[in-house]
Structure 1
């Protein structure tokens, strides 16, 4: 057990942080919504009711979709684009999908290579892009859930204001949907871009996301 915890400590730590912050968000959001309902003269809801509400669903999924979009773009753009001096970039001469030999695909696979890297054909082609495909699917699904939950939540507010609800198609073109979406996208793009640039000049000793402390600012694709 001790060995398992040590060898998986990074994923376990983030799992605990995720569950803790999700629980905190649920409780805080529940109190916030009840305060708003009370101010509007409406009945408060239970925590269980809030967890199954459109308000909670849209608040959660609008963050999920932006995070997975961030990683999707990062995975895909770093195939072709480089940044001189950044450990977040491949070496300047390695832009592109690289050769089968360098990627250890097909005849160049090693004994410990995954089976799908050796079989060739469509299965290897799909496996070669499986990370980007998975990130893209999760992004699209969470964005779809956000749109439906956001639509339901927005119409709840309209009904409380004695206004007619709008269709899902209309909501996809509405400022409420795009304000929720773009406020998350811009922060994700800023964070990733900042990391790529700041890591050129700044260091974090022992982190694989940083160059070794003594590496040149010009060193590209070097991890410590």
Structure 2
């Protein structure tokens, strides 16, 4: 095969091999832009009603109003995945592909996890170590997801406070500090309305996948698998 043909094949393989991440990453950017446009229009409507000057899109995306709307969604999504990652270590659902097999409850043995002496040549380097690196790497996904959740929740509280204080000033009322804001109904309403939807989505996915199928999806069992088959992916 010619050099150009090999380059084309590598480029084609890259797009194919990373299509899931690229597709959802691209969709995220499109939707984020759409949110910015819609939020900008709504924000300017509010300014007009209050008799204030309208702002540009560039100015809007640097406002606390836009930032809090973004971060409150991010924190709930990362909470969902953090809870699911940690919860599925010990919790199971008979018949769901979203659950591990019933007899594998817990952190499993070193042999099953292929760590330490049971690591293979293809195993990540830290998985083969026998010191603190193995312990950190063995929990790295949950730690990172949990860390991003906490950071985005903190960002939501700060940007939410700024947006709340802007509203307070427009009403000629005194602004509040961060400590006062995080106990307001505004903060917890923003937080809990996202948490409940994420938890409902996870619970629905876990139980519906026991009885329903999607051919070809790893989130579903094979179409002909028994309802009681657990931890089996299509």
TM-score normalized by the length of structure 1: 0.99
What does residue 147 of structure 1 align with? 157
Could you tell me which runs of 5 or more consecutive residues in structure 1 were left unpaired when the two chains were aligned: none
Q: Provide the secondary structure at the position in 1 that maps to 2:141.
A: helix
> Paired residue for 2:146?
136
Trace 1:62-211 onto structure 2 (pairs within 5 A).
Answer: 62-211=72-221
Structure 2: unaligned runs, 5 residues or longer: 1-10
1:223 maps to 233
Rounded Cα–Cα distance in structure 1 between residues aligned with 2:129 and 2:227:
41
Alpha-carbon distance, 1:3 to partner: 1.0
Give the whole-Å Cα distance in 1 for the aligned partners of 2:175 and 2:223.
58
* TM-score normalised by L of structure 2: 0.95
Which of 40, 43, 48 is residue 33 of structure 1 equivalent to?
Answer: 43
Match of 1:15 in 2: 25
Q: Deviations over 1:164-201 (max 9, x none)?
A: 11111000000000000000000000000000000000
Q: CA deviation at 1:221?
A: 0.4
Deviating beyond 2 angstroms after TM superposition, the runs of 4 or more aligned structure 1 residues are: none
- What's 2:59 paired with? 49
Question: What's the C-alpha RMSD, in Å, of the aligned pairs?
Answer: 0.5
Aligned residues: 224
